[in-house]
Structure formats: C-alpha cells, structure tokens
Amino acid sequence: MRTRFAPSPTGFLHLGSVRTALFSWLLARHYKGQFILRIEDTDQERSKPEYTQLILDGMKWLGLDWDEGPYYQSKRYDRYNEVINSLIIEDKAYYCNCTKERLTQMREDQIAQGQNTRYDGHCRDKKIPFTQECVVRLKLSLESSVGFEDLLHGIQDRDATMIDDWILRRSDGHPTYNFAVVVDDYDMNITHVVRGDDHLSNTPKQVSLYKLLNWPMPKFCHIPMILDEEGGRLSKRSGSANILGYREQGFLPEALLNAIVRLGWSHGDQELFNRQEMIDLFDFNGMQRSPACFNQEKFYWIARHTMQHISVETLVDKAIKEGFFKDTLQHAIAVVTLFKDRAKNFQEMIIQSDFLEHDPVLNAEAFINDYPSLTSALLQSFCDYLVTIEISKETFFNDLKIFATTHGLKIKEIALPLRIILTGTTESPDLGSVAYYLGKDKVINRIKSLKNSMK
Ligand code: GLU
C-alpha cells in the first residue's frame, strides 16, 4: 500500500485537507505501507511558498510523518514534457491553437443548442506543429470507457462521451492538475488514491489518460465532504477550519486527529481513539459515504478528555514547545496541574489560571451581603490560623474543617467564599491545590486585602 497526500499550496491546511491526509496516512500505517507527500504547486498565481511551509509545519505538528517527499510538481516539468512528447509522437495527444474567442463561441453555441459543453475536436486531426500559443490536448479514445471502481462509491460507469479532448498542458507551459496527478501517481507507484469526493468528476479524465498510456490504475477512494454544524460546506476560508488556529489556541494535535478521524469513518460507536488505536483499527470497512459533520462541542469534549489522559510532565513539555508558558517551569507545572482536568486547550488554562499571578478584583460590599458570617474579625482569626498551619494539597480541606468547626461554621460557609477570595470565581479546581500553588503569603494577603476593604 502506497498512499499520498497531494495538497496544493494555495491556502492553509484546513479540516478537510487534514482529513484527507489523515486517512491516507492511516491506511499506509495500518497496512505497513508508505505515505508520500507531494506539493502540487503548478498553479503559479495561487501557489505560495508560505503556504507550502504552513502545510509542512501543520503536518509535522499533527505527527503525520511521511516516508517520501515532499515532492514538488514544479520541479518535475521535464518529466511532464517527456510524457507529453511521447503522447504526441504516438498520436495520442495534439497541439491545439484554437483562440479564446473561438472556444467561447463554441461553448455559447453548444449551450444554445442544449448540448453539453465540450471541446469539438477542431484541431484533433490537423497535426498542428508546436508554437508558443498552443495547448496540448489529449486525443480521447471514444471507444474506451472511462469508468472506474471506487472503493467507497462502487462502480462508476462513465463513457468517454461525457468528457472531451481535455488539456494536458496550457499554452503557458504549465501542466494541468489532471495530467500531472496521473504522471505523479504512476511514477510514485501510488496504489490507493484517497481524496475528497469533489474530485469524483475529475477521475474519468484521469482514467482516460491511464488508458491511453497503458499504465496500471491505482485504486480510488473518494471520501465524503465535511459539513459544518449548519449543514453548510466547510470552507477553506472559514477561520474555524484553519488548523493553525487550533494550534495557536493550544489544542493537542492528538485531540484534533481524534475528532477528524470520525469525519467519514467509524468503529462501532467508539468516539475516543489514541494514535495507535486509530492505526490499528482504521481501514476501508469503517468508511462511510454520507457527508460528515464537524461538531465543535464534540471536539471540545474530545480535547478535554485527551488533556485528562496525558501526564502533567508531558503536557508541560508540549505546551512549552508550542510557546506557551514563557515564565518559570514551576508556574507551568502549577497551571497544568490545576487545569488539565478541566481545560480543552492551553490557552484556556492560562486564562483561567490568571488568579495565580493577579489578585482577583472583589466587590467587598456584595461579598459582605452574600457571606454575612465572614466578619472582619473572623477573617483576621482565619489569617492567624493559616499562619500556624502548613498549606498542603492533601490536608488543607481538613484544616479548613477544623477552623470552621471551632468557629461554629459549616465547611461550605468558609470554603465557598474562600474560593472566591482566592480565585475570583466559584468555579475553580480543588481548593487545597489552589491554596498550595498560590502559597501561604498570597492566600493570607488576599484575605487581608478583603478584610481591609471592609472597614
Ligand atoms: N492538489 C489536489 C488538491 O489539493 C489533489 C487532489 C488529489 O488528491 O488528487 O485538491
């Protein structure tokens, strides 16, 4: 099994392209084959080296490693021209110098007559010699079918009248996608072509070329499109679909791959897969034909689950590598320990852990109203008490209990307001851990500053 991912560097890696890459990669890994990366950069106007770099960075971040490549189509023009020349010599392709005006007129006439628009073969048998303004067209064999079998969609009956003498090389010297992709898939011994089903309509053209060249065809597998939650098509330009956006927010690549693998593939009703499980379980059987929907909430759920199941040390390492936590290692460990069971990404951890560094702003008046038993005198005793104990994650809650009982309070009458004093919210990780990572000085100072504002 040799699969490939062949992105055009005309934009960011988006969910759809990562899904194609992931499926191809998983097949190669599952069947112990090879995964090839090829950059299809023949569109001079839209291809940009920055995009190529982002694609390579994205693939590395996701851990979708390739065994060969990246090959660049822009470096393979000699090979494309060699194939074209041999096709011309064998009378399987021809130069065409039809003008734009002629082609436009032809198309308009065909539409007016209710016909399919297709090249009418004007130059097909003219043996036009090469000139700069010529395109090269394939000489379609009308007798031969251009149908194929798709591993997901089954037999695709297509007869040659559905396509035309399509262009292999443009007059500017650049090969067309349908031509270069066939030469490359053949040269690179690709056995399985996995790509989005928006390419289903291109495949008959590619089949016509394989047949003309007498080259063996790879197996095709066109995977369903991905819809957003509203049922619309995920667009390349839609910000949420840009993979780097997830990286910048500090999502784990494992979580993203887990969410993406479910877009058009399933294994029973299992939702959670680690990398090795995906490799072990993935194959064509679980693939589905109907469009897949990317559900943001489900992704967040997977992301939280993934964080929970990775150790603090590993998470800290990953976060630092991604440029989070520029302060001390100690701070990073505190944040990750406190929030790894609650946050979906590193950015969220950092936002929620702001209280570790900055005193929360409290409204003393509202606080007194909400917690009338916490008088200034009680807060002072609490501070005096804290001075005498050692704050540890394990014993803090019990220490609180002792203080509460001594002062005739229920534990929650002290724990709840203390949580607010220390973190500014009622939702925070375990109070013992919060107090421990803040340290005794900060804990006491925050209580004192509330007490002072009561006067
Ligand atoms: N460069 C094409 C794309 O990005 C590749 C399609 C294919 O896999 O054949 O859509």
> 298-330: per-residue pLDDT in tens?
999 999 999 999 999 999 999 999 999 988 899
For residue 408, report the distance from its CA to the centre of ligand 1, in Å.
72
- Nearest residue (CA) to ligand 1, atom 4: 7
In ligand 1, the atom with minimum distance to the C-alpha of 193 is 8
CA of 270 to the centre of ligand 1 (A): 30
For 69, list phi and psi in degrees, rounded to 5.
100, -165
Task: Using the mean position of ligand 1's atoms as its centre, give its distance from the Cα of residue 8 in Å.
Answer: 7
Task: Enumerate the CATH 1.10.10.350 domain ranges in the chain, comma separated.
Answer: 364-453
Q: Which of 4, 20, 181, 188 to mutate to test the pocket of ligand 1 (most atoms within 8 A of CB)?
A: 181
Collect all residues with Cβ–Cβ distance below 8 Å to 17 and sequence separation of at least 6: 5, 7
In this structure, which residue's CA is closest to atom 3 in ligand 1?
Answer: 7
Q: How far is the CA of 6 from the centre of ligand 1 (A)?
A: 5
- Burial call 68-77: b when 16+ CB within 10 Å, e when fewer: ebbbebbebe
CATH architecture of 77-223: 3-Layer(aba) Sandwich (3.40)
pLDDT at 238: 46
For atom 5 of ligand 1, the residue with the nearest CA is 6
Atom of ligand 1 nearest to the CA of 17: 4
- Measure 101 CA to ligand 1 centroid, in angstroms: 30
Pocket of ligand 1 contains residue 16 by CB under 6 Å: no
**Ligand 1 contact via 7 beta carbon (within 6 Å):** yes
Alpha-helical segments (H) within 229-363: 243-248, 253-261, 275-281, 296-308, 312-321, 329-339, 346-352
* 3-state SS track over the chain: CEEEECCCCCCCCEHHHHHHHHHHHHHHHHCCCEEEEEECCCCCCCCCHHHHHHHHHHHHHHCCCCCEEEEEHHHCHHHHHHHHHHHHHCCCEEEECCCHHHHHHHHHHHHHCCCCCCCCCCCCCCCCCCCCCCEEEECCCCCCCCCEEECCCEEECCCHHHCCCCEEECCCCCECHHHHHHHHHHHCCCCEEEEEHHHCCCHHHHHHHHHHHCCCCCEEEEECCEECCCCCECCCCCHHHEHHHHHHCCCCHHHHHHHHHCCCECCCCCCCCCHHHHHHHCCHHHECCCCEECCHHHHHHHHHHHHHCCCHHHHHHHHHHCCCCCCCHHHHHHHHHHHCCCCCCHHHHHHHCHHHCCCCCCCHHHHHHHCCCCCHHHHHHHHHHHHHCCCCCCCHHHHHHHHHHHCCCCHHHHHHHHHHHHHCCCCCCCHHHHHHHHCHHHHHHHHHHHHHHHC
Residue 181 CA: which ligand 1 atom is closest? 9
Cis peptide before 49 (omega within 30 of 0): no
Q: Decide: 181 in ligand 1 pocket, CB within 6 A.
A: yes
CA of 169 to the centre of ligand 1 (A): 17
> What's the CA gap between 48 and 16, in Å, rounded?
19
**CA 214–ligand 1 middle distance (angstroms):** 22
The answer to whether 379 and 420 have CB atoms below 8 angstroms apart is: no
CA 110 remoteness from chain centre: 42
pLDDT of res. 241: 63
CA distance 149 to 418: 67
- Supply the pLDDT for residue 455: 67
For ligand 1, is residue 195 a contact (CB within 6 Å)?
A: yes
Atom number in ligand 1 closest to CA 5: 8
Ligand 1 and 176: CB distance under 6 A? no
| Ligand 1 atom closest to Cα of residue 4 | 8
| Fold (topology level) of 1-67+224-309 | Rossmann fold (3.40.50)
Distance from the alpha carbon of residue 85 to the mean position of ligand 1, in angstroms: 25
Distance 233 CA to ligand 1 centre (A): 18
> Please, which residues bridge with residue 195 across strands?
222
Is the beta carbon of 188 within 6 A of some atom in ligand 1? no
- 203 alpha carbon – ligand 1 mean position (Å): 11
Where in the chain are all domains bearing CATH 3.40.50.620? 1-67+224-309, 77-223
Instruction: Give pLDDT, residue 239.
Output: 41
Structure-block tokens of residue 259? 């969410």
Q: For tokens 């479910």, what's the residue?
A: 262
According to the CATH classification, is domain 364-453 in 3.40.50.300? Answer: no
- Locate 1 and state its tokens: 């099994």
Q: What pLDDT is stored for residue 235 in this prediction? A: 59
CA of 358 to the centre of ligand 1 (A): 50
From the CB of 222, is ligand 1 less than 6 Å away?
no
Going from the Cα of 162 to the center of ligand 1, the distance in angstroms, rounded, reads 21
Q: Which of 70, 60, 62 is nearest to 35 (CA)?
A: 70
Ligand 1 midpoint to CA 31 (Å)? 22
Pair 391, 434: CB distance under 8 Å: no
In which residue ranges of the chain is pLDDT below 70?
A: 235-241, 455
Q: Which atom of ligand 1 is nearest to the CA of 198?
A: 10
253 lines ligand 1 (CB under 6 A): no
Q: How far apart are CA 205 and CA 140, in angstroms?
A: 9
